[in-house]
Amino acid sequence: MPTVIPFRAWRYAPDTDLSAVTAPPYDVLSADDVAMFQARHERNIVHVDVPPQTPEGYADAAATLKDWMAAGTLVQDDAPTFTLYRMSFKDACDTFRNMIGVLVGLPVDDYGKSGVLPHERITPKASTDRLDLTRATGANLSPIWALSLVDGLSNVLEQYWDLAASAHIPTARCTDAGVTHETLPIANTQQQAVITSLIAQSDVLIADGHHRYGVAQRYREEVREDTDGPRPKDCDGPHSENCDSAHPEDCDGPHPEDFTLAFISELVAEQLNIDAIHRVYDGVDFDTLKAALATHFDLEPAPKPTPATLDEMVAEGRLVLLSPAGDANWLTPKPGIFDDVRPLDGLWLEQALADVEALTVTYQHGLEETLATVPEHSGAVLIRPTSIEEIRRTATEGLLMPPKSTFFTPKLRTGLVLRTLDE
């Protein structure tokens, strides 16, 4: 089970307009988005978090971060803290949601060893951008999002939020794109102990940030392999009982690279908002794609999709096939065809298309974005959001979903809390 730790967080100075200096995570930003946030404020976090992918770019990002710390743009907590983090918003159905979690240091280890599990198969990424940036800055900039199965975690966090607010601990707040983001530091060691104990009652499931966790794993191994680093090369891990070092006191840990920045929230339906990530296909012509899908689905013409179509897909249990020409077809599973397959659209599509040679798949979130891109491809399939029940089943049974099965929204804000790796 995961043993999370508090840390001395870096935050923008209290008088900072956080709407001007924070941003969504790097992996949802287009080049135009990056330019917009850079122009919004000279000290917006994207100047550090999304540098040019060159050695000079990473070095400049590291120098910029160091300058902001020295100048007081960023200030560090006096003592280790957890940070409560709330997001308040209305979802696509106009339902108000109030999500709460906690920013912590999450153990970095091989999956399963320290209570951290993936929830989907991970698509490999050739880019070393995040690893190069971590090496240069020595910091965790964007948090991973993990889900806890511990009942009542959110209630405890809400109680501590109210206690902190009543004690007049300053709340950091910003609103962007209709979402209000708020954070509160928790320095009370008794409250920290309760949070740590609660989270340790169950494994946590990575919801968003598998690639960032993989980078943290690789960075940790690099530090271990560096004989000049803070950890002896032959140390077996934090609090290890099997350290062969000549200086076992160095292995008592915890060491900074053994943890990474993470937001942990409870797996509860009323708080989480999950969108689908649709499938876009290439490598074959549309008629071949359609014929392969017809072996597992009944097809019938459908109107041009709208947001209401997505609701109908959930209600009726069917998908939508899009052609490059703009035509749409309902995909209704043939009776019994998927009886031995988990009710995940991604798995259904993998089975239906398994024998189509040369077929490739990419992923696109958002209905309008998918409709806009499909003319450039062989075709696309709109899928339904993954249910909370299937996410819980994934965790409790140790299963994996297909890649890109979930898209959790709204996204956590980068820049509200940073964690350095030099403590």
**Mapping DSSP to helix (H, G, I), strand (E, B) and coil, where does residue 300 land?**
strand
**How big is the CA angle at 307 (ends 413 and 386), to the nearest 5 degrees?**
60
Which of 395, 373, 391 is closest to 382 using CA atoms? 373
Q: Is the peptide bond before 254 cis (omega within 30 degrees of 0)?
A: yes
Residue 70 CB: number of other CB atoms within 10 A?
9
pLDDT of residue 365: 86
Ordered per-residue pLDDT tens for the chain, 423 residues: 899 999 999 999 999 999 999 999 998 899 999 999 999 999 999 999 999 999 999 999 999 999 999 999 999 999 999 999 999 988 766 778 889 999 999 999 988 788 898 877 776 665 699 999 999 999 999 999 999 989 999 999 999 999 998 999 889 999 988 899 999 999 999 999 999 999 999 999 998 888 899 999 999 999 988 745 445 434 444 434 444 444 444 555 679 999 999 999 998 878 778 888 899 999 999 999 999 999 999 999 999 999 889 889 999 999 999 999 999 999 999 999 999 998 899 999 999 999 999 999 999 988 999 999 999 999 999 999 888 888 888 777 777 777 777 777 789 999 999 999 986
Residues 6+ apart with CB under 8 A from 46: 23, 26, 29, 34, 37, 38, 414
Q: What is the DSSP letter of 240?
A: -
- What is the distance between the alpha carbons of residues 118 and 125, in angstroms, rounded to a whole number? 16
CATH 3.30.1760 domain span(s) along the chain: 277-384
Q: What is the DSSP letter of 77?
A: -
Q: Which amino acid makes up residue 167?
A: A
Q: Which residues pair with 7 in a beta bridge?
A: 81
3-state SS, one letter per residue, for 83-104 = EEEEEEEECCCCCEEEEEEEEE
CA distance from start to end of the chain:
24
In terms of DSSP H, where are the helices of 17-114? 18-21, 31-40, 46-49, 55-71
Pick the CATH number of 277-384 from 2.30.29, 3.30.1760, 3.40.50, 3.90.1310: 3.30.1760
- What is the distance between the alpha carbons of residues 280 and 282, in angstroms, rounded to a whole number? 7
